[in-house]
Amino acid sequence: MEAERINWGPSNGYEIQDYQLSPSSWNRYEECPRKYWLSRQGLPKKIGMPIVIGNAVHNSVEEICNIEISDRNPSEKDWLPKLSSEILSNHWQLQKDIFFATSRRSGWKKKSYTKAKEGLDKALLMLLSQAKITDIDLPEITIGMWNKVRDIILANEGTLNSECGKLMGRLDLLLKDVDEQDNEIGWIVVDLKTGRPPKDSLSKTVNRQLRFYRDLLILINPNHPPIRTEGWYTSNQTMHEATGSSVTEDAFGAWQSIELTENPFQATPNEFSCGFCEWKAWCPKWLLAIHDDTLKRHKTFNDEVVTLINFDEEVGMASFKIMVPDGIDGELRDSEKSFGAFLSNQPLDQLRELQNNGYEGPLFLGSTRIDGEIRHMGDWSEILPWNPLIKSIR
C-alpha cells in the first residue's frame, strides 16, 4: 500500500478545531438541528445489529487488506476463505462485547453473522473485480491474485482533515483507478455500504457524503490525479458513482452553523427525522408535535410519555398513565388515558433498574406495539427517564 503518497491533512499534534463537520454530522444537522445538538451532549447512544454488521465487515476488510502475504507462494489457493472467516469471527466477537456493554441496545440476532459473512465475501469480490479478477470463487483466489488487489489499494481506513481542521472524513478505501492495460489513471474513493442499496441512483445525502470525501481529498492534495468516488453496496454487489459539483464551499458554511450553543438548536419535527430519532427522551418538541398533529400517531407502534401506575416485575406486566404536554419545555400533565403492557427483555430490565434506583418521575416508552387494548414491549423497545434537555450539559 502507498498511503504515504496521500496527504491526510493535519493529525496528531495539530490543533484540530473544537468541533468538526463530517458528512454524518452535516446530514444529522440538516435532518433536524436539535437532533444534531442532542447527539453532541454525551448522552447514551443506541446500538443495533446494522451497526454491528457494518463495523464487523469494515474492520475485517481493513485487517485482510493489511495482512502481509508477499513472501508466500503466488500459486497458493484455498487460503482466503479460511483467513477471512477467522478474521470476521474475531471482529464479530469484539462487536458482540461492545454490544452487550452498551446500555441502550436492540435484541442480539445471532443469525446476523450470516449477513456479515455474505457482506464480507461480497466486499472481497468487489475488490477483486476492481483489480480485474472476475468470475472466480474465493477458494480459487491465489496469493498472486491477491497481491494484484493489494497493488491497487492506496489506503484503507484513514481519517482526512482539512488544513484548517474544520472538515473531517473517514475513508474506507482509496484505490488506484486503472485502465485496461493496468496503467494508473487516477484515484477512486470507495465507501463500503452494508445497508440497503439504492433502487436506482444514490440518494442525495449519500451522493453528497461521497463528494465530501472526494472534495476534502482534493483540498489537501492539490496535485491530485483525477478522482472518482463510489459507494459499494455489499448486499447486491453494486457500485454507484457519485457525481456533481464541489461541496466544499457549502461544507464550510455548514461548519459555521453547527457550533454548539448553550441553548438547544431549533427542532424541526417531521415523520422522517423523528421516525428513527434516538433522542426523543430528551426532546420535548416531538411530544408537542404529536399533540398538535404535526406528527401522526401510528396504528401499530407508538412512543409515549407516561407515569407508572403498577408494575409486576415477576410477571413482566405494567400499567401506565399517558402524559400530555403542559408547556413548551417538556412539562407534563395527566391525561385520562392509560394502558397495560407486557414487558420482556431490555424494557423489562430497564424498568426494574429504574425502580431499584428509586426513580419515580415520568418515563419515555420507545416503540410500544399496540395490540387492541394492550401493548407489548420487547427487544425493539426501550424505557428511559423522560428528561427534556433545555440547556447544554457538555
Q: How far apart are CA 374 and CA 319, in angstroms?
A: 9
User: Assign residue 324 a region: left if phi > 0, alpha if psi is -120 to 50, beta otherwise?
Assistant: beta
- Interface with ligand SF4 (CB under 6 A), residue total 14
Least distance CB 182 / ligand SF4 (angstroms):
48
Least distance CB 265 / ligand SF4 (angstroms):
9
Q: Which stretch binds ligand SF4 (CB under 6 A): 34-42, 191-199, 216-224, 325-333?
A: 34-42
In Å, how far from its chain's centre is CA 56?
Answer: 13
Least distance CB 33 / ligand SF4 (angstroms):
8
- Please give the residues from 58 up to 117 whose contact with ligand SF4 meets the rule CB under 6 A: none
Q: How far apart are CA 266 and CA 273, in angstroms?
A: 13
CA Rg value for the chain = 24
Strands 374-377 and 332-343: parallel
Nearer to ligand SF4, 38 or 348 (CB): 38
**The one among 84, 229, 273, 367 contacting ligand SF4 by CB under 6 A:** 273
Nearer to ligand SF4, 202 or 288 (CB): 288
Query: Applying CB under 6 A, does 274 fall inside the site for ligand SF4?
Result: yes
Nearer to ligand SF4, 194 or 368 (CB): 368
Query: Applying CB under 6 A, does 35 fall inside the site for ligand SF4?
Result: yes
Residues 6+ apart with CB under 8 A from 379: 106, 107, 344, 345, 346
Show the binding pattern over residues 286-325: x = contacts ligand SF4 (CB under 6 A), - = does not: x---------------------------------------
Greatest alpha-carbon pair distance for the chain in Å reads 76
Nearer to ligand SF4, 207 or 273 (CB): 273
| SS3 state at 1 | coil
Taking CA atoms, 309 is separated from 126, 320, 323, 339, 353, in Å, by 55, 5, 12, 10, 16
| SS3 state at 283 | coil
Least distance CB 268 / ligand SF4 (angstroms):
6
Q: How far apart are CA 252 and CA 290, in angstroms?
A: 35
Q: How far apart are CA 320 and CA 332, in angstroms?
A: 14
Query: Applying CB under 6 A, does 34 fall inside the site for ligand SF4?
Result: yes
Nearer to ligand SF4, 194 or 273 (CB): 273
Cα-based torsion angle of the residue sequence 64, 67, 69, 75 in order, rounded to the nearest 10 degrees: -10
**The one among 6, 32, 128, 216 contacting ligand SF4 by CB under 6 A:** 32
Q: Which stretch binds ligand SF4 (CB under 6 A): 10-18, 108-116, 175-183, 274-282?
A: 274-282
Query: Applying CB under 6 A, does 38 fall inside the site for ligand SF4?
Result: yes
Binding-site ranges for ligand SF4 (CB under 6 A): 32, 34-35, 38, 267, 269, 273-274, 277, 279-280, 283, 285-286
